Amino acid sequence: MAEIRVSSAERDDAIAALGVHLSSGRLSSEEHERRQRQATEALTRAELETLFDDLPAPHPDLTAAITPRRPTMVNPEWPGGRTGTRASRVMDVIGVLSLLVGLPVAIVMTAVSGAWWMFVVVLGVAAVAMVLGVAFMAPAAAPSPADDREERVADDSAEKDG
């Protein structure tokens, strides 16, 4: 996963924290200059954090540079994030077939024998089948808050190890 980039304000906070460590005698002026240069050139949160690995507080506040949450996956077949089951697909096929086969049959039956009511039957079967197809769809499994918390902890520990 790509590292999160830091802002100029976060670099400035890091340089200010390094100044506190210089004034308290934890850093020599040469070490302070080297770390200040690295903080100025830092692009990612990890590059700034490594400057403070061997120093106690204060550290710069990098909470604004948190890892973004992974986007939730939504089933592209259905905007509500529902997934099709075998029963829902069967009902969809019945609805489509009733339109593809039933409408021409209804047109012929109306022209030959005047059975106009065939349109009502065909459209009713199609509508009922498609509504049942949606009803038989299973809701997409949403990640629980505990799973999301575990992913964030795993991501944070992987970033510290890397």
Domain that includes residue 27, residue range: 8-65
Whether 29 and 67 have beta carbons less than 8 Å apart is answered as no
Determine which helix (DSSP H) or strand (DSSP E) holds 138, and give its type and residue range: strand 138-139
| Residue linked to tokens 């490594």 | 50
- Residue 86 maps to a domain: yes
Cα gap 87→136, rounded to integer Å:
6
SS3 161: helix
- Residue 33 maps to a domain: yes
Whether residue 42 is found in the same domain as residue 86: no
Whether residue 99 is found in the same domain as residue 130: yes
Structure tokens at 156: 């944070």
Average pLDDT rounded to a whole number, residues 110-126: 86
User: With 80 as the cut, is the pLDDT of residue 149 above it?
Assistant: no
- Residue 105 maps to a domain: yes
User: With 90 as the cut, is the pLDDT of residue 121 above it?
Assistant: no
Whether residue 56 is found in the same domain as residue 87: no
- Residue 155 maps to a domain: no
ω into residue 58 within 30 of 0, thus cis? yes
Cα gap 133→159, rounded to integer Å:
45
Contacts of 113 (CB under 8 A, 6+ apart): none
Q: What is the pLDDT of residue 42?
A: 92
Average pLDDT, the chain: 78
Q: What is the pTM of this model?
A: 0.42
Q: What is the pLDDT of residue 72?
A: 59
Per residue in 123-147, pLDDT (tens digit) is 888 888 888 877 777 765 555 454 4
User: With 50 as the cut, is the pLDDT of residue 1 above it?
Assistant: no
- Residue scoring higher pLDDT (79 or 59): 59
* Number of compact structural domains in the chain: 2
Cα gap 41→20, rounded to integer Å:
20
Average pLDDT rounded to a whole number, residues 91-101: 84
